Structure 1
Amino acid sequence: MQFRTKISIPQSDFPIDYDSKILSLGSCFAVNMAEKFDYFKFENTCNPVGILFHPLAIEKLIDFAVSGKQFCAEDVFFHNERWHCFDVHSDCSHSNKDELLLNLNTILESTRLQITESTHVIITYGTSWVYRNIATKEIVANCHKVPQKQFGKELLSVGAIEKSIQNTLDLIQKVNPKATIIFTVSPVRHLKDGFVENQQSKAHLITAIHTAINQQLSTNNYFPSYEIMMDELRDYRFYAEDMIHPSQVAIDYIWQRFSETSISEESLSVMKEVETIQKGLQHRPFNPNSESHQQFLSKLQDKMMQIQKQFPQIQF
């Protein structure tokens, strides 16, 4: 696709390659990008406790993981026949209280290891709007369909977000000072908050990110996912049917822009080979037993072996 308006994005000084270990945290758009990493066979982990939308939720996860904290009985509650934790996504909820706590604390241990070993941590913020539990006065990551009257809604100030980002950076650098951290703002618009309120929310995130990373090391970067959606893809044909989430065409385009600036040239050529193999694996022949198809499979197997010889961690 060609566009008259194209955002200038600097090349990363610390690009991702096939030896990189990537940890992606944040909103549902983080999942979209992680699916791309998975497709192209990069070593990637995404959202160990499920989708997290705001900076304080991501900071708390990283704090618990890095500091060796654990969830305890006071951190979980029973609602609608399942046990939940306000600090994680409902995907983690469980019918058994002890199993939920065991699962969450096991995830924290593995997350600490992932933070320690990652070469790149990609953090995608979705919103500045948060919900505070009135009873505990704690900001939650997920309301788990608990009645709305039990929460107060607040907009995080730029200063509060900047402080959270700084805490997040300090925690990661404490155990992994060499990690490259890439911040981005999700292009998904939170229109339930209101059109004006969504713009204010995104503006707070963007301002805080730039203020925080400008005071930090050059290993911290910003990738303009939200700006690409708003300025390069400013047409409703780039939205899904709900007119809120990016369409697959938009996701593919944003990934393309990310690849151009954040992935090494050597890895871009490997990605083309991986994509050829992936398309070959998805191919459905008219006659699976034909000689031509068997030759096709043999050549495909050779390509897979060549890739795996160079990068043993890649599995198809």
Structure 2
Amino acid sequence: MIRIRDYYLSYSTTLDFRTTLPFSQSPFQLHHRQSVLALGSCFAEHIGQRLIDRKFGLTLNPFGILYNPASILGSLRLLEAGRPVERGELFQHQDLWHHFSFHSRFSHPDAPTALEQMNASITEVHRNWEAIDRLILTWGTAYAYRHLGQDEIVANCHKLPGETFERFRLKGESIVETYTEFLSRLKKDKPGLQVLISVSPVRHLRDGLVDNQRSKAVLLLAAETLSQELDFVHYFPAYELVLDDLRDYRFYDRDLAHPNSVAVDYVWDYFRRACFSPEAQAIDARIDPVLRAARHRPFHTDTAAFRKFCTQQLEKIAELEAQFPFIDLSKEKQHFLNG
């Protein structure tokens, strides 16, 4: 795949006053029989959920949404070790029990329940750790928060008072050093490991326009250095596709910070063409009609025509299951059986 700096040099200018990012096939290839782990910002949720919907074996954000590279790396280390969260690591705030490494969706009014949810997520990934050979990491911001009392970077502040934390910007050199050490060691245990890093196009407007751009610049340069120094680490240009290729507020939500569904579709299409293996693309084309049929919501389900439609889909599913036994279409099968 083209290096980051080359994106800014090899563009085409057209009469409609738009610069289009040239397509490039990625060395990072996905197929349905791999075990994939995706961590990162809310933009990673969009792409990761689509991979799950397309029946890839992907685990998405087992700690919830993460934003800065240090917290993402800390989560990877916890998953590798499989160390359970202890009761003393939780804290109560605004009637909920929280953990600094987990997103608030894991928080709960009952401490044992919160602990159970967090440890179940760690255990599930750690149990499959040896099989994971694809990592998709999406960095959102270079700004991080250090808890002053515990002197450690947190993944989520959980609305604690601002004076509880020190806000600072991670240094690119530190990101490269820590990731190089971890990923190089991981590669020795997983010879087939491939890593894809992207920078989220979500704009962190609370940082201010200038600081947001500086933050993204740190991430972009760190990603480039890693992809240059480690041949199994690759860069995906999600940031450039939205900020440079689309480059228009029409492609943002009302908050002017998050890309809208049209922009996500555009990035997804590029990702699919760049990162799906030929086998994955062929399988995706085969299962797509069944997936679209399962999303269809008919007005009348008590007709012979609809029953015939369901029978036809079940026949297609049976054929696909026989040909691709590693594809899980049980949800779709149950949908048409209930129809």
Quickly name the TM-score band, shorter chain normalised. Answer: over 0.9
Q: Shift of the alpha carbon at 1:278?
A: 1.8
Deviations 1:161-188 (A, max 9, x none): 2123224413533542322111111111
Q: For 2:204 and 2:157, how far apart are their aligned partners in 1?
A: 16
Give the drift of 1:243: 1.3
1:279 pairs with 277, 292, 314, which one?
A: 292
Q: Distance in 1 between matches of 2:58 and 2:43?
A: 15
Q: Distance in 2 between matches of 1:261 and 1:140?
A: 34
User: What SS does structure 2 have at the residue aligned with 1:10?
Assistant: coil
Of 237, 242, 246, 2:259 maps to 246
Counterpart of 1:124 in structure 2: which amino acid? T
1:116 equivalent among 111, 124, 130 = 130
1:71 positional shift: 2.6
Determine helix, strand or coil for the equivalent of 2:202: coil
Question: 1:103 — aligned with what?
Answer: 117
Deviates more, 1:198-207 or 1:305-314: 305-314
| 2:272 equivalent in structure 1 | 259
Give how far 1:225 is off.
Answer: 0.4
The one-letter code of the counterpart of 1:279 is R
What's the counterpart of residue 141 of structure 1?
155
Cα offset, 1:305, TM superposition: 1.6
| Contact 1:184/1:222, CA 8 A, preserved across alignment | yes
Match status 1:33 vs 2:47: yes
Identify the range of structure 1 (150-159 vs 113-122) with the bigger mean alpha-carbon deviation: 113-122
Once the two structures are overlaid, the 10-residue window that deviates more, 40-49 or 93-102, is 93-102
Q: CA RMSD in A?
A: 2.0
1:229 aligned partner: 242
Q: Is the 8 A contact 1:89 1:141 kept in 2?
A: yes
Residue 89 of structure 1 pairs with residue 89 of structure 2: no
Matched residue of 1:119: which SS? Answer: strand
In structure 2, the partner of 1:289 is: 302
How many residues align? The count is 314
Deviations 1:15-70 (A, max 9, x none): 11121222111110111011211221111110011111111111111112223433
Equivalent residue number for residue 219 of structure 2: 205
Give percent identity, aligned residues only.
34
The one-letter code of the counterpart of 2:306 is: H
Distance 1:98 1:51 in 2: 22
Classify the secondary structure of the residue corresponding to 1:221. strand
The farther-off stretch of 237-246 and 121-130 is 237-246
CA distance in 2, matches of 1:160, 1:181: 19
Hey, what's the Cα distance between the residues in 2 that align with 1:73 and 1:291?
Answer: 57
**Paired residue type of 2:272:** S
TM-score by length of 2: 0.86
Change (3 A) 1:285 1:135: closer
* 1:157 to 1:311, Cα distance in 2 relative to 1, 3 A: same
Partner of 1:193: 207
Residues 65-93 of structure 1: per-residue CA shift (max 9 Å, x gap): 22343333442211111211111111111
Residue 150 of structure 1: aligned partner: 164
- Give 1:237 deviation, angstroms: 1.0
Equivalent-residue separation in structure 1 for 2:182 and 2:242 (angstroms): 26
Quote how far apart the aligned CAs of 1:9 are: 4.6
| 2:76 counterpart residue number | 62
Amino acid at match of 2:121: I
In the aligned structure 1, how far is the partner of 2:233 from the partner of 2:323? 29
Structure 1: gaps spanning 5 or more residues: none
Structure 1 stretch displaced more, 16-25 or 160-169: 160-169
- Unaligned 5+ runs, structure 2: 1-13, 333-339
Shift of 1:263: 0.2
TM-score by length of 1: 0.92
Letter in 1 for 2:136: I
Q: Secondary structure at the match of 1:70?
A: coil
Q: 2:143 aligns with which of 129, 141, 149?
A: 129
Q: Is contact 1:161-1:208 (8 Å) kept?
A: yes
